[in-house]
Amino acid sequence: MITRDKLYIGGSWVEPSGSSTMEVVNSTTEEIMGTIPLGNADDVDRAVAAAVDAFGEWSDTSKEERAKFLSRLQAGISSRIEEMASLISSEVGTPLAISNLVQVGLPVMSFASMSQLLSEFNFEEEISNSLVVREPIGVAGAITPWNYPLHQISAKVAPALAAGCTVVLKPSDVAPLNAFLLADIMDEAGIPAGVFNLVSGPGTVVGEAIAMHHGVDMVSFTGSTRAGKRVMQLGAENVKKVTLELGGKSACVILPGADYSAAVAGGVSMCFLNSGQTCSALTRMVVPKSALGEIEELVVAETVNYKVGDPFDFTTRIGPLVSAAQRDRVRGYITKGLDEGAKLLTGGAEQPEGIGKGFFVKPTVFSEVESSMTIAQEEIFGPVLSILPYDDEKDAVRIANDSIYGLAGAVWAEDLDVAERFARKMRTGQVDLNGGGFNPLAPFGGYKQSGVGRELGHFGLEEYLEVKSFQR
């Protein structure tokens, strides 16, 4: 049982303004694993005031000083990888091997990459008779989700600190304990008072207070499109900058001539990663109608390899969903798929065999899915794959782009040139070509209702900078 009863504000663990708390539930056992304080608008006021006070001195530090501090944070997280990965696996349900590699490995890379980037990034440039300088935007509000909790925090906090901004963080109240451990690491690394502040609580209270606060200069939000619209509306009240990383319904397009076995293995993997609780999950497999039967067989055979179970069992590939509400929501979509006439190949809405407790859902595959169906349009956020057949390449492009979202995608073809030619027609923020791997230095973000702005690498750093010119 982990009890966190204080907020991190102004360089100290302080009592919250109120006395309300929230329980954190282990997604595998359904038992209470911890409690956190529920902050309120008064706590946000205190945190913003601390961040405003700290901004002047922190923004004046050299980029070399900030790089050293980011390196200390990288080392601090690295020294506690096992503890952090175990914590996130308990909160979210991610298999432990994936937690080590992704849930904690990517945050380590985020802090390391920003530290390295500072040594290369040019904050000033000459344009004719002007000196153009890039300066930190000010106090950054970070509002983060539960599916990759530490990664999403790090993707905001690392570039904000690198830019010279101070931060007020509201972590997810579903998987918040890892954020408190990060605050411990910040404190141990000697972060100056007020540079990093943590206020936990519900989005409707703490998140909205951050988004509308006059002392917050920008907000970076990751979460649902519905909540992102609300953050943008609140931020517009005082015309603050808002960056949004929202939902996705990404397509994995398999073209004739591709290696179907490799394409199916890669596509299924990127659909079921983290039990499908991934905004960039490849949840729509767009395949040639002439090869539908062959690809269906390959998908079913691949799905059998995805053992459902305890995330601390190293043979498990799909753990539980994060909560009972999320499990019920995903099962509702599976039922909806059946009701609308999709062909169920494997899985279903029932509890997986041999599993009593835990928020589990069977890995589920539908075929003969049409773009008009709910399961082809709405973000499910669970281990559910839809196979959509196409007639020709023009039809494949239409299906791939038939979504309000545009976060990610993949193309499998006979060679990279063919894959890239097709990918250029996709209205989405990043596309994997023939299994190209995730690049933590490349920009991450989407088109359409998948968001505004980019994270990671120098693109992510630039989101936290203002541009000023001196004419001479």
What is the C-alpha separation between 348 and 182, in angstroms, rounded?
38
Residue indicated by tokens 């900030």? 66
C-alpha distances in Å from residue 295, one per residue of 252, 286, 334: 13, 10, 21
Measured in whole angstroms, the distance separating CA 360 from the mean position of its chain's CA atoms is 21
Residue of 279, 296, 302, 455 with catalytic role: 279
**Size (the chain), residues:** 472
Relative to beta strand 139-143, strand 218-222 is: parallel
Cα separation of the two ends of the chain: 62
**Which of 376, 369, 319, 310 is closest to 343 using CA atoms?**
369
What is the C-alpha separation between 47 and 55, in angstroms, rounded?
12
Q: In the structure encoding, which two tokens stand for residue 60, read together?
A: 């004046």
Provide the edge-to-edge strand list for the sheet that holds 451-452.
Answer: 12-14, 7-9, 196-198, 166-170, 139-143, 218-222, 241-245, 451-452
Q: What are the residues whose beta carbons fall under 8 Å from the beta carbon of 447, sequence distance 6 or more?
A: 406, 407, 427, 428, 429
Element at 222 (helix H, strand E): strand 218-222
**Which of 36, 43, 106 is closest to 74 using CA atoms?**
106
Residue indicated by tokens 């063919």? 418
Reply yes or no on whether 252 is catalytic. no
Residue of 91, 165, 208, 245 with catalytic role: 245
What is the C-alpha separation between 160 and 158, in angstroms, rounded?
5
Q: In the structure encoding, which two tokens stand for residue 299, read together?
A: 């998908």
**Which of 29, 22, 1 is closest to 359 using CA atoms?**
29
Helix (H, G, I), strand (E, B) or coil at 312: coil
Q: How many Cα atoms within 13 Å fall on the side-chain side of residue 345?
A: 25
What is the C-alpha separation between 280 and 438, in angstroms, rounded?
11
Judging by beta carbons within 10 Å of its beta carbon (0-12, 13-18, 19+), is residue 435 exposed, middle or buried? middle
- DSSP string for residues in 32-59: EEEEEE---HHHHHHHHHHHHHHHHHHH
| φ, ψ dihedrals at 64, nearest 5° | -65, -40
Relative to beta strand 409-412, strand 432-433 is: parallel
Reply yes or no on whether 279 is catalytic. yes
Catalytic residues: 245, 279
